[in-house]
Amino acid sequence: MRLITIIASLAVLALLVVLPFNLKNYGIYILSLWMVYSIAAMGLNLTLGYAGQVSLAQAAFLGIGAYTTALLMKAGYPFLFGFGLSAGICFCVGLILGYPALRVQHHFLAFVTLGFNALVWLVFRNEEWLTGGTYGLMGFPRPSFFGIDTTNQVAFYFFSLTIFVLLAVILWWIVRSPWGRAFQALRENPIRANSLGVDIRRMTLLAFAIGAAYGGMAGSLFAPLVEFIDPQSFQLNTSLMLLLMVIVGGSGRFLGPVIGALLVVLLPEWLRFTEGMYLIIYASLVMVLLAFCPSGLIGLYERSVAALRARPSGSRGSEKP
Amino acid sequence: MNRSNENVLSVCGISKSFGGIRAVDDVSFDVQRGEILGLIGPNGSGKSTLFDCVLGQLFPDSGEVFVNGNIVTRKRPCDLNKLGVGRTFQMLQVFSEMTVLENIILAGQEHRGTLVSRLFGQSDAGLTEQADEIIAFFRLTHLRDHRAGSLSYGQQKLLDTAMAFMAGPRLVMLDEPAGGVNLTMLESLKERLIAFNEERAATFVVIEHNMEFVMSLCTRILVLANGAIIAEGTPEEIRNDPVVIEAYLGE
Q: Give residue-wise pLDDT tens across range A97-138.
A: 999 989 888 889 999 999 999 999 999 999 999 998 889 998
Pick among B54, B55, B93 to test the A interface (most A CBs inside 10 A): B93
pLDDT (0 to 100) of residue B5: 57
User: Within its chain, how far is the Cα of B146 from the centroid?
Assistant: 25
pTM: 0.91
pLDDT reading at B74 higher than 50: yes
**For residue B159, which residues of chain A lie inside 8 Å, CB to CB?**
none
Q: Do A191 and B106 touch (CB under 8 A)?
A: no
Is B147 inside any structural domain?
Answer: yes
**Least CA distance to A192: which residue of chain B?**
B93
pLDDT reading at A262 higher than 60: yes
To the nearest whole number, what is the mean pLDDT of chain B? 91
Is B11 inside any structural domain?
Answer: yes
CATH code (residue B173): 3.40.50.300
pLDDT reading at B249 higher than 80: no
Is B1 inside any structural domain?
Answer: no
Out of A144-148, A210-214, B218-222, least confident range: A144-148
Is B169 inside any structural domain?
Answer: yes
pLDDT (0 to 100) of residue B250: 65
Contacts across the A-B interface (CB distance below 8 Å): 86
Is B34 inside any structural domain?
Answer: yes
- DSSP code of residue A51: T
**For residue A174, which residues of chain B lie inside 8 Å, CB to CB?**
119
- DSSP code of residue A228: E
CA distance, residue B62 to nearest chain A CA (Å): 22
- CA A43, A49, A52, A53 dihedral sign is positive
Q: B41: domain range?
A: 7-249
pLDDT (0 to 100) of residue A318: 45
CA pair distance B238, B221, nearest whole angstrom? 7
Is B2 inside any structural domain?
Answer: no
State the alpha helices, DSSP H only, in B43-138: 47-54, 77-82, 100-109, 115-120, 128-137
Which amino acid appears at position A146 of this protein?
A: F
pLDDT (0 to 100) of residue A312: 64
Give the Å distances, CA to CA, from B50 to A62, A142, A195, B56, B202: 47, 63, 15, 10, 20
Q: Rounded to 5 degrees, what angle do the CA atoms A192, A195, A197 make?
A: 115
To the nearest whole number, what is the mean pLDDT of chain A? 90
Q: Give residue-wise pLDDT tens across range A3-40.
A: 887 888 889 889 999 998 888 989 999 999 999 999 99
pLDDT (0 to 100) of residue A316: 45
Please, what is the end-to-end C-alpha distance for chain B in angstroms?
Answer: 40
CA pair distance A16, B232, nearest whole angstrom? 72
Which is nearest to B99 in space by CA: B78, B69, B74, B128?
Answer: B128
Would you say B110 and A197 are in contact if contact means Cβ atoms under 8 Å apart?
A: yes
User: Confidence class of residue A314 from pLDDT cuts 50, 70 and 90?
Assistant: very low
Q: Give residue-wise pLDDT tens across range A35-86.
A: 999 999 999 999 999 999 999 999 999 999 999 999 999 999 999 999 999 9
State the alpha helices, DSSP H only, in chain A: 2-18, 25-44, 58-74, 79-101, 106-126, 128-131, 153-176, 178-188, 190-195, 200-226, 236-249, 256-270, 278-292, 296-313
Number of structural domains found in chain B: 1
Is B116 inside any structural domain?
Answer: yes
Q: Give residue-wise pLDDT tens across range B138-159.
A: 889 999 999 999 999 889 999 9
Pick among A95, A102, A192, A254 to test the B interface (most B CBs inside 10 A): A192
